[in-house]
Chains A and B, each alone.
Chain A
Amino acid sequence: DAEITQSPRHKITETGRQVTLACHQTWNHNNMFWYRQDLGHGLRLIHYSYGVQDTNKGEVSDGYSVSRSNTEDLPLTLESAASSQTSVYFCASSESGSGETQYFGPGTRLLVL
């Protein structure tokens, strides 16, 4: 069965360190998305991609970067982790176009000390 996986599922790091969260999907979807979820804010879009070599900034992209070298993977990098980036991170993917369902990965819980 097609799925989205994220790794690691839990991560503790220190401020200033670079952290990369992995996202891998076997749906063969063109569109991939990274969100963070915090109490009171819901799901906020960090970065998204419509295909290989395409990346776009979302509403809370500062301090984060992504790259898309193949269809299956969209890793999210925190260039210099800050305590404000402590959150739960979800990766999602969808087919291209209007009305397509987004499928979510299991999430990564990140704690920045």
Chain B
Amino acid sequence: QKEVEQNSGPLSVPEGAIASLNCTYSDRVSQSFFWYRQYSGKSPELIMSIYSNGDKEDGRFTAQLNKASQYVSLLIRDSQPSDSATYLCAAQDSGTYKYIFGTGTRLKVLA
């Protein structure tokens, strides 16, 4: 059973701080990884995707991938109360192209 694991949280950070969200996956052949944000009562929306080892930056968001350690992370700089949401990590199965989701980490940014 291929799995993606996340700490459920809540992760509480003060406004303006860096929030660090982590994810591990069990399938060594997964090549594509995604971070989704989900507000309460809403559907998931894509924040970032990452396919290569290293960092990928987009505005206040940085995704980090380490395939050797099977580890993906998302950093949110200058966290805002509007960033308060559940963040879902997903890995794409390279064989079937299905997406395997973690259970999500709830982030609370305190004003």
B31 and A99: CB pair below 8 A?
A: yes
B residues 69-111 with Cβ under 8 Å of A? Answer: 88, 90, 92, 94, 97-99, 101-104
B32 at the interface (CB under 8 A from A): yes
A42 and B44: CB pair below 8 A?
A: no
A98 in complex: contacting residue of B42, B45, B46, B97, CB < 8 Å? B97
Residues of A contacting B104 with CB < 8 Å? 42
A101 at the interface (CB under 8 A from B): yes
Number of interface residues of A (CB under 8 A): 25
A59 → chain B, closest Cβ, in Å?
8
Smallest Cβ-Cβ distance to A99: which chain B residue:
B32
B45 and A104: CB pair below 8 A?
A: yes
Q: With the chains together, A30 CA to B43 CA distance in Å?
A: 21
B99 and A96: CB pair below 8 A?
A: no
B43 and A107: CB pair below 8 A?
A: yes
Q: With the chains together, A42 CA to B103 CA distance in Å?
A: 4
Interface centre among B32, B51, B103 (most CB of A within 10 A): B103
B43 and A96: CB pair below 8 A?
A: no
B49 at the interface (CB under 8 A from A): yes
A45 and B98: CB pair below 8 A?
A: yes
A90 and B44: CB pair below 8 A?
A: yes
